[in-house]
Chain A
Amino acid sequence: MNSPAGSGPILPLGDDDLHAYVDRRLSPERRAEVERWLASDSDAASRAAFYARLNADLHRSYDHVLAEPVPANLMPAPTHRRRVFDRRGPTLRHFAVAASWLIAGIIGGWSTHDLLVPPKTIERVVEVPGPAPTLTLQAAAAHAVFTPEVRHPVEVRADEAHLTRWLSNRMGKPIKAPILDESGWRLMGGRLLPVAETGAAGPVACQFMYEHADGRRVTLYMKSVEGEPSAFRYSEEREGMGVLYWMDAKLGYALTGKLPKEELKILARKVYDQFNS
């Protein structure tokens, strides 16, 4: 560094100073030092000139976007608006959801008691060797297809009242969307899916998707199965993607996500409890 004669710089001047100079992030004292440097170093001066012109040209290229009218679809939806402006909103909403669950649970429990055969050994998590059953393959495929979606991760959003009614009708049996908010997983919504084999209500399966505040997503996949209720089982379908699955008398469940097995197990337990409460 050629430090100019007279008042030498307190700290050596470097690239960071050039950037901070054009970005106007320097103290007046430091700024003066940099200007003395630039006066004596033409290479540094031309680089600083380029950086400054680049900033100006970025504005020239993109500032017109600032003036574009904001489309209505970027403004809050009515439901969001209410929550945005009333910070008590979520509490009241959760209360309402809880109440509706209570009612749904009572009705559902009455009409579905034959489904509620619990796994015999719920705490056991079994590593399944060899080719995984179709339930986990399908669940993993559906997970991989839909969780990356930004625009259409779900077909029907969680705040639409007919979500579970619709899926129950199509699946031919009562379907619940478990609430996992306490564990940090928010229900986004659900979708209907085709399967190759035909169950009691046709070739259908369904999927609920949940999202964590950090952006991770898990899915709960359900389809009709014939057979014995099973314990929790675990299968790693693809790199880092675990599937925890189990069966009751009429449905197979597969909880899929890029989560540690223990975390999946805790969530699966909550799902199981909610289907059987």
Chain B
Amino acid sequence: MTQPEGHHPIVDQIPHLRRYARALLGDRALAEDLVQDSLERAWSRFHLWREGSNLRTWLFTIMHNLHANLARNASRRPQTSPLDEDFSVPVRADQEDRLEVAAIESALARLPEEQRQVVLLVGLEEMSYQEAAATLDIPVGTVMSRLHRGRERLREMLAGAAGNAGGLRRVK
């Protein structure tokens, strides 16, 4: 081969794609499948990537589109439980300074996917709002409103986990 694989820019992004997929889908096997399919597509289409454009958003967009196709076509699959007004996630109250991993996972799973995507792209992958907008092909204003609704919903859900920290009361 002409270059060592480790130097290919896509390779550097693989851990990030895996981390995001894991958090988005909440299931290791599903996430690995999605990443593998996304990378297959990315490798075979790398010649379509415009040099100088954002490789990271290109890759995340591929993954997002694949996942959206799957979700659309799997509408018969039982959905995650619908959101009602009152959904608190049971968590132990012995951790005051951080939200438990299990509580985070459970709360994320209950978030509408469009909000979960934005919360994760921004909060976990640390994309700029513009990058998140480009990845999801939505306006920046929509990114901001989904981010706000997602974080607020998580705040409601995780209010129990926050214990008695000031101000983190349940908002009805």
Contacts and interface: CB of A to CB of B under 8 A. Distances in A.
Interface of A: 15-16, 19-20, 23, 25, 42-43, 45-47, 49-51, 53-63, 65-68, 70-71, 73-77, 80-81, 83-87, 89-90, 147-148, 150-151, 213, 215
B1 interface: yes
Nearest to B23: A62
Given A57-B104, A84-B46, 14 more contacts: A15-B144, A23-B129, A42-B166, A55-B124, A57-B101, A58-B124, A59-B124, A65-B19, A65-B22, A85-B8, A86-B2, A148-B72, A215-B65, A215-B69
Contact of A66 (B15, B39, B151): B15
Interface of B: 1-3, 5, 8, 10-11, 14-16, 18-19, 22-23, 32-37, 39-40, 43-48, 65-66, 69-70, 72-74, 97-99, 101, 104-105, 119-120, 122-124, 126, 128-129, 144, 147-148, 151, 154-155, 158, 162, 165-168
27 contacts: A15-B148, A19-B144, A19-B151, A25-B129, A42-B166, A46-B166, A46-B168, A47-B155, A47-B167, A49-B168, A50-B151, A50-B158, A53-B97, A54-B99, A55-B123, A56-B98, A57-B99, A58-B104, A60-B101, A62-B22, A62-B124, A68-B15, A70-B14, A71-B32, A81-B1, A85-B2, A215-B69
A114 to B, nearest CB: 38
Given A74-B35, A75-B5, A148-B73, A23 B122 contact: yes
A107 B34 CA distance: 41
B47 A148 contact: no
Given A42-B166, A74-B36, A58 B120 contact: yes
Contacts of A66: 15-16, 18-19
Contacts of A151: 33, 37
A70 B15 contact: yes
A75 B36 CA distance: 9
Query: Which of A23, A49, A58, A75: most chain B CB closer than 10 A?
Result: A58
A54 B154 contact: yes
B166 to A, nearest CB: 6
Query: Which of A50, A63, A87, A151: most chain B CB closer than 10 A?
Result: A50
B102 to A, nearest CB: 9
Given A54-B154, A57-B104, A74-B14, A85 B3 contact: yes
Contact of A76 (B43, B72, B104): B43
Contacts of B144: 15-16, 19
Given A53-B99, A80-B43, A65 B166 contact: no
B99 A45 contact: no
Contact of A83 (B47, B72, B105, B120): B47
B166 A75 contact: no
Contacts of B162: 50
A207 B18 CA distance: 33
A57 B128 CA distance: 19
B8 to A, nearest CB: 7
Contact of A150 (B3, B19, B33, B46): B33
A164 to B, nearest CB: 20
A19 B147 CA distance: 8
Contacts of B40: 77, 80
A104 to B, nearest CB: 23
Contact of A54 (B32, B101, B123): B123
Contact of A148 (B65, B74, B128, B147): B74
Contacts of B36: 73-74
A15 B150 CA distance: 13
Contacts of B124: 55, 58-59, 62
Contacts of B104: 57-58, 61
